Structure 1
Amino acid sequence: MKSTDFVADSLRRAVDAALADDWDLAHQIAQDSSHPLANWLHAVLHKIEGDAWNSRYWYSRTDKKFEDFDDHRAELMAIAVELSKLNRQAPTTPL
C-alpha cells in the first residue's frame, strides 16, 4: 500500500505534465497506478491523443463519462481538484 500523499503527489505530477503537454510522462505515471483518479487521467490522455475507443475503456473504470468535458484542460483541472481532496481521506490507498 502506498500512502495517500504519495499517490496524490505522483498523480499531481502527471496532471502537471499533461498540462505542460508532456503526455508521455503523464501516461507513464497514470498507467502505473490503479487509483480511480489515475484511471480518469488515463482516459483523458487517450482522449487528447484522439484514441476514443481506449479513452472510453478507461472512462468505464471511473464514474465519469467521455462526454462530460469538451475541454481537456478543464478536465485536467477537475482531476487536480479531486487530488487536493485525497489528503483528507484514509491514510493509505492502493497505487
Structure 2
Amino acid sequence: MTLDFFQASFAEATPPVGLGAVLLALWYDGKGDWQEAHEIAQAADTPDHCQLHAYLHRKEGDAGNARYWYNRARQPMPAVSLREEWKNLVERHLLKESRR
C-alpha cells in the first residue's frame, strides 16, 4: 500500500482491511478521530505503540505526556511538524507491514 492510497482511503467509512494496530490508529487519526487512535495506542506497550502514543499527546498539546511516551519509545521529541511526523510514521509502518 502507498501513502497516497492510505490517505485516499479516508474517504471510506471503514479502514482498509489488514492494517496493523499502529497503521489503524494513524488511519483514525488521519480521519480526525483522535480518541479512537488513542484507544489503540493504549492497547499495547511496544516501542511502536509508545511512539504512536507520544505523537498523539504531542498533537493534543500535552508536551509533558508526549515526552514521557517518547522516552518510553526510546525516541527523541521530533523537531518536525505534526504533519511530517504523521507522514513519517505512516511511511515507516507501511514499509514494515509490506515486509511481513
> Which TM-score bucket, shorter chain as reference?
0.7 to 0.9
Corresponding residue number in structure 1 for 2:34:
23
State, as a whole percentage, how many aligned pairs show the same letter: 33
CA RMSD of superposed structures (Å): 1.8
1:33 equivalent in alignment to 2:44 = yes
Corresponding residue for 1:69? 79
- How many matched pairs? 82
| 3-state SS, counterpart of residue 60 of structure 1 | helix
Q: Which residue of 1 aligns with 2:7?
A: none
CA distance in 1, matches of 2:95, 2:58: 24
Counterpart AA for 1:74: E
TM-score (norm 2): 0.71
Q: Secondary structure at the match of 1:69?
A: coil
- How far apart in 1 are the matches of 2:95 and 2:46? 14
Contact 1:43 1:55 in 2 (8 A): yes
**1:71 and 1:65, CA in 2 relative to 1: closer, same or farther beyond 3 A?**
same
Q: Which runs of 5+ in 1 are unaligned?
A: 1-5, 90-95
Matched, 1:50 2:61: yes
Point out the structure with the larger strand share.
1
Q: Give the TM-score normalised by structure 1.
A: 0.74
1:81 to 54, 66, 91: 91
Report the alpha carbon displacement of residue 40 of structure 1 after superposing the two structures with TM. 0.7
Of structures 1 and 2, the one scoring higher in RCO (CA 8 A, sep 6+) is: 1
Amino acid corresponding to residue 57 of structure 2 in structure 1:
H
